[in-house]
Amino acid sequence: MSTAAPSVPAWAVTRPGGRDVGLMAVAVIGVSFSGPLTALVTTSFLAIAFWRNAAGAVLLLPVLLLRERATLTGLRARQLVSSVVAGLFLAAHFAAWLPSLSMTTVAASTALVTTTPIWTALAAHFSGVRLPRQVWWGLALAVFGAALIAGVDVTVSWTALAGDGLALLGAICAGGYMLAGARARERLTTSAYAVVCYSTCAVALALAALLVDVPLAGFSARDWWLIAAITVCAQLLGHTLLNLVLSSVGPTVVGLAVLLEVPGALLVALVLLQQAPPLLALPGMVAVVIGVALVIRAGRPTPEADPV
């Protein structure tokens, strides 16, 4: 995580090299543990999100100060704005998505929260970016798949439906996090961006916990170990490695890699939680994955305006 790689346009599709493929593979394995491990923790979701971000920032700070201190020379506060914005979006993402894991199935929650590329494409469209027709077919298929999943959960409970809505809101916020992060990585190294982003996210979540009177300590030893595992797997190996390749392959390819979290989380949930998705939800999950893949495979649209 030494220097910031040459940036690519936000909508570029860049074929990753062997190193980037390896890093993304490790990252996908890491984020696949996020949902199932979080579902095992008995404490507040706000506390989980706070500690994984706070710990992630603290663990990356020595890398920044010891290995990449030279990159801070001449750095101005305004160059950190995108990192702060990304951190706020990340906090909103966690605040929306994590509660959904206890309201709906891990499979449905994960499938819906990984529709992030759908919402970033819509943001680009409303910002004036022309999108190929294939993107709209993908959008339609993914939204249909999301409706199928939500429809299945209506037959289970209204709580599950609300969980689906929170997972979709988490996906929208994750889109903002990814686009702001791509902008930040044009100027900052991975460690500099991650420390600012994760710290901002942790502060925002701590304030939210204070407002709703949620404790950030006093957990059982089991919960502390689970939070540590989430931090290592999902935050350091997941988010941070994806942020590392973000500037070299672009958010589009990163979004494609994150899609693999859906089957990955299913396998982990089956092993750790013995939780299988409802049979009727499977076609919806397949439609979401195919639809988002169509959006990503459409290639880079011609930008007419900056989407962020």
pLDDT tens per residue across span 135-191: 788 778 877 877 776 666 666 788 888 888 999 999 999 989 988 888 888 888 888
Within 10 Å of residue 42's Cβ, how many Cβ atoms?
9
- Specify the range with the lowest mean pLDDT, choosing from 52-66, 203-217, 218-232, 240-254: 240-254
- CA 16 remoteness from chain centre: 19
Within 10 Å of residue 123's Cβ, how many Cβ atoms?
16
Residue 232 has pLDDT above 90, yes or no: yes
The mean predicted confidence, pLDDT, of the chain is 79
Report yes or no on 53 lying in a domain: yes
pLDDT by residue (tens digit) across 8-25? 444 444 555 677 778 888
Report yes or no on 220 lying in a domain: yes
Within 10 Å of residue 25's Cβ, how many Cβ atoms?
13
pTM of the model: 0.79
Residue 302 has pLDDT above 60, yes or no: no
Report yes or no on 308 lying in a domain: no
At 1, the pLDDT band (50, 70, 90 cuts) reads very low
- Type of residue numbered 239: H
Angstrom distance (rounded) from CA 270 to CA 214 = 30
Report yes or no on 174 lying in a domain: yes
Into how many domains does the chain fold? Answer: 1
Residue 283 has pLDDT above 80, yes or no: yes
Report yes or no on 16 lying in a domain: no
Please name the residues in contact with 50: beta carbons below 8 A apart, sequence gap of 6 or more: 202, 205, 206, 209, 216
Report yes or no on 9 lying in a domain: no
Angstrom distance (rounded) from CA 286 to CA 297 = 16
Angstrom distance (rounded) from CA 154 to CA 140 = 21
Q: Annotate 239-264 with b (16+ C-beta within 10 A) or e (fewer).
A: bbbbbbbbbbbbbbbbbbbbbbbbbb
Higher pLDDT, 73 or 304: 73
Residue 132 has pLDDT above 90, yes or no: no
| Domain that includes residue 102, residue range | 25-298
Say what percent of the chain tops pLDDT 90: 23
**Residue 163: C-alpha distances to residues 3, 6, 96, 138, 152 (Å):** 39, 39, 9, 24, 12
